[in-house]
Amino acid sequence: DAKTTQPPSMDCAEGRAANLPCNHSTISGNEYVYWYRQIHSQGPQYIIHGLKNNETNEMASLIITEDRKSSTLILPHATLRDTAVYYCIVRVRDDKIIFGKGTRLHILP
Amino acid sequence: DTAVSQTPKYLVTQMGNDKSIKCEQNLGHDTMYWYKQDSKKFLKIMFSYNNKELIINETVPNRFSPKSPDKAHLNLHINSLELGDSAVYFCASSQWDRQNEKLFFGSGTQLSVL
């Protein structure tokens, strides 16, 4: 079972920052937070992951709260191509990846 | 070049038939997976192979038989297809010694059982 809670859907205006929240209140010390997304009819795509520090790459930023019970994925300048289902996953590094229901993000023109 | 490729992309067949889906990855990874995404869009892991050895089998009916001839290939054979097998099947790969840090997925095979 997924160990995360995400809102089922969100809207964001094109060009604005999209902030996707994720609650993982039962996360343990050795579990990482991973984000994937699935654009319609494609396979899921890795975005970013982190343990306790904030992380940034060319796709997004990941902000993890100090108590690690929640995190936020930030897409700094959302485009229409960012419309997708975003999955927040917690796991030990060598464990299987279990997908929950995710957040359906709509980017509005 | 596509990193993880699956064939066929679409598969329409009758109940009771046997079919196979093929997957190949050219990333040099040693771990491969099959996931199933049903009509409600839940994505569930089915199998995982590491260096041709089965390491995850998520209580999948034994009509489903994965086969890994080498670490770049993981095929899925399904016997006696049932209506409930209709779904999108995704293959994925990762590198085990990097704790499966990132999964790379294929574009999926949409299976329709009539």
- Residue-wise pLDDT for B83-94, tens only, equals 999 999 999 999
Residues of A in contact with B90 (CB under 8 A): 43-44
Q: Encoding tokens for residue A28?
A: 């343990």
Q: What is the rounded CA–CA span in Å between residue A37 and residue A105?
A: 10
Pick from B96, B103, B107: CB nearest A97: B103
In this predicted model, which residue has the larger pLDDT, A15 or A53? A15
pLDDT at A2 over 60: no
Q: How confident is the model at residue A88 (pLDDT cuts 50, 70, 90)?
A: very high
Q: What is the rounded CA–CA span in Å between residue B94 and residue B92?
A: 7
Share above pLDDT 70 across residues of chain B, in percent, rounded to a whole number: 95
In this predicted model, which residue has the larger pLDDT, B43 or B100? B43
Flag if B103 and A94 touch (Cβ within 8 Å). no
Q: How confident is the model at residue B98 (pLDDT cuts 50, 70, 90)?
A: low
Q: What number of other Cβ atoms are within 10 A of residue A14's Cβ?
A: 15
Flag if B106 and A43 touch (Cβ within 8 Å). yes
Query: How far off is chain B from A20, nearest CA to CA, in Å?
Result: 19
